[in-house]
Amino acid sequence: MEQQTLYPNLILDALKQVRYPGNGKNIVELGMVEDDMRIDGRKVSFSIIFDKPTDPFMRSVIKNAETAILTFVASDVEIKGNITAKSRKPAAEKAVAERPLKGVKNIIGVSSGKGGVGKSTVAANLAVALSRLGYRVGVLDADVFGPSMPKMFGLEEAQLYMHEVNGKDMIIPAEAYGVKVLSIGFMVDRNKPVLWRGSMASNALNQLITQADWGELDYFVIDMPPGTSDIHLTLVQTLGITGVVVVSTPQEVALADARKGIAMFTDPKVNVPVLGLVENMAWFTPLLHPDEKYYLFGKEGAKRLAEELGVELLGQIPLVEDIGVKADAGSPIALGDSQEGHAFLSLAGKVNEAVNRRNEDLPPTLKVEVTK
């Protein structure tokens, strides 16, 4: 029998069954479950906050939380000893801890259901195109096991440095073409594989997010790893993601995986808005015959999927030799004024429009403005 995938909201739903003896309300409703939940395979750990370190109900609440998860989630969840009791922090201190990227207005994930569809190329060019439109942009390479942003931005030899911000040592992101860039690729030997377990990858990623001086940004673009994994859940737990852009080719096998990726983000337990689909390698255009189109992977598959799922088709990017050549050379094609460069500028405009529409739907107190 296939094991149920563990999600933060699945655990929270179980914890809603746990009542605090002092007033009879559930511990989630009371805000007693800290936002530090970590899920590593079948292991779950988190903290429960009490008003006083001497709370008489502390042990019984922790025991009841363990029982609730084993009863309402799955009996094989490893949780015993992984629940930490904490004293409640002052509200001001808690607010600072909850938002690691205080100067970032919008966080955009670029995702794909499978590898090989050009997700990282789209992420790099989207970031450059947003910068060309006048926005302040940062890129996080969250594809821990296949980091490619250092090469695509011509930063393979870049050295990272740290400086002090408010008494803390913070990583200074590398920068190219007006875009701030951080990647695990800066910290490992690019000629050797990254042999890390899921928790190690998630912790390294969390460090790049929370211990870096990103400054003020209009857009924070995250190049996510392909597929669905613990890293996606780490990003969802750590950041308030504005929305995701899903990349696929028109090929049926890629579309099937893109469908799964969209289902993951729209699942109520994850609940991240899908801004739209990008159809990459939509057609092949020979370099010497720019007006010709050959549909090597099928025609308009992503367009049909977007219509079926009710999401926007943000753009169709052709398969052109120059896109790959310039990516390998560390000079994204969105920097130029070619037809393909303008395709990415159009994509950036569509993403910006989708973000603005989403922000208009938010309650007034949650709205953010994107200004040039």
8-97 and 104-366 have identical folds: no
Q: What residues does each domain of the chain span?
A: 8-97, 104-366
| Nearest Cα residue to 119 out of 294, 244, 290, 209 | 244
The pLDDT tens digits for 294-304 are 989 888 888 89
The pLDDT tens digits for 206-254 are 788 888 999 999 999 999 887 666 666 667 666 778 899 999 989 988 9
| Nearest Cα residue to 63 out of 18, 16, 30 | 18
The pLDDT tens digits for 66-91 are 999 999 988 888 986 678 777 665 44
| Nearest Cα residue to 138 out of 98, 107, 168, 161 | 107
Question: Strand, helix or coil at 318?
Answer: strand
Structure tokens at 344: 């990415």
pTM over 0.75: no
Q: Are 146 and 172 in contact (CB under 8 A)?
A: no
Mean pLDDT across 157-181? 91
The pLDDT tens digits for 106-129 are 999 999 877 889 899 999 999 999
What residues contact 119, with CB distance under 8 A and at least 6 apart? 110, 111, 112, 223, 224, 226, 247, 280
CATH class of 104-366: alpha beta
CA–CA separation, 40 and 197 (whole Å): 9
CATH of 8-97, one of 3.30.110.60, 1.10.443.10, 3.30.300.130, 3.90.1170.50: 3.30.300.130
